Amino acid sequence: MYYEYALDPSLLSNWKDFRYFYEKFGWYNGRLISRYPKHWKKIVYESLNKGGLSDIQMTKMVEILQRGIDTKLVRRKDAQYLDQMEWVCNAKVEHEKRPFHAIITKSNLENCDHILCADEVNEDEHSKWRVGEKRLLRKASAYAAELSLLLCNSKKIRFVDPHFRGHLDRFKGIIKEILCEIGPGAVCDFELHTGITEDYDYFKERMEKNITKLMPQGTKMCVFVWKEKPESEELHNRFILTDLAGVSFGTGLDESKTSNSTAKDIVKRLSDDEYKELTAQYHENSTAFDKAGEKFIIEGTIYE
C-alpha cells in the first residue's frame, strides 16, 4: 500500500520531470521518496543549477522543495552513502542491503527488475509503479507489514473501531503487531476510538486488564469511548489514522476468528479530503459524537 522509492535527484533538474514526480509521490498516492541519502534535498538543489531553468521555474521549484517536498519523503535509518560514488551506484549498493521498492533513474542498461527508467515510468506497463488498493489476509501481521512504511514514519497513531473489544484475542493482535512493527523505543502517541454497548466501567476494566499486557513499559494509549448523536454521524467504519495519512478497513481491526482462515479484507488509502474529515471527527474534543464515558489511559507493562 505504501512503497519507498529511491529517486535519482538529477531527474528533478527540469520542470517537466520535477512536476510529474512531485504529483505522483505522496501518502495518498502510496509512493514515497526515500530520503536517500540524508542530504537528498541538497543534491536536488545542486541539480537545479544544471538544468537550464528559467527564473520563474527555478523560483517555483525552490518553493516546492522548501514547503512541500518533505510531505513526500521518508527517512531511511542506518543507510550508508559514499560521496565519491555516483548516486545511482550508491542506491544499487543500498538496495542489496535493504531493498527499495524500486530505483528510478535515467537508464536501466542492466535491465534489472528493480530499476525503473524515468522515461518509461507508466502505471500500465510496470508493476513496480502500480500501487492500488489491496485485499489482505485478515491477520494482524499482514496489516502491520503492509502499513509498515506509514507506521514507522508516524508520530501519532489512532485506531478507530466502534466494536473494538480488548478482551478478545482477535482484537489484541493489531495492537501487538503494530507496536512490534514500529519497534522498541519509538516516540509515538497512541489513541483508540471506540464505542460500547455494555456498562462503561466493565468495558474499561476489561480493556485495562488485557491491553496493558500487549504494550511495552513506557508506552501509553489513550482510549476514547463514543456514542452516536441522534440523527447525526454514524459510529461505524474502521480506520487507522496517523499524523501523516490514513487507511480504511472494510471489515474491522480484528483478525479472522480461526487461525487458518483465508478470509481477506479490502484495505484502502484515504484521499486527502477523507483523511482531513476523519481526523477532525476522531479527536479528544470532537463534536461529531457524544462521550459514552471519560477517556482513560492504558500503560504498558511488558519489560523490553
Q: For domain 3-129, which architecture applies?
A: 3-Layer(aba) Sandwich (3.40)
Q: For domain 134-299, which architecture applies?
A: 2-Layer Sandwich (3.30)
Q: What is the pLDDT of residue 289?
A: 93
Give the pLDDT confidence of 62-88 residue by residue, as tens digits.
Answer: 999 998 999 999 999 899 999 999 999
Residue type, 118: A
Whether residue 211 contacts residue 168, with contact meaning beta carbons closer than 8 Å, is answered with no
Q: Which residues of the chain are under the pLDDT cut of 70?
A: 51, 109, 123-125, 184-185, 303-304
CA–CA gap between residue 144 and residue 176 (Å, rounded) = 10
Q: What is the pLDDT of residue 52?
A: 79
Q: What is the pLDDT of residue 304?
A: 56
Q: What is the pLDDT of residue 125?
A: 66
Q: Where are the domains of the chain?
A: 3-129, 134-299
Q: What is the DSSP string of 184-229?
A: TT---EEEEEEE-SS-HHHHHHHHHHHHGGGSBTT-EEEEEEEEPP
Give the pLDDT confidence of 143-191 residue by residue, as tens digits.
Answer: 999 999 999 999 999 999 999 998 898 999 999 899 888 876 677 899 9
Q: What is the pLDDT of residue 79?
A: 95
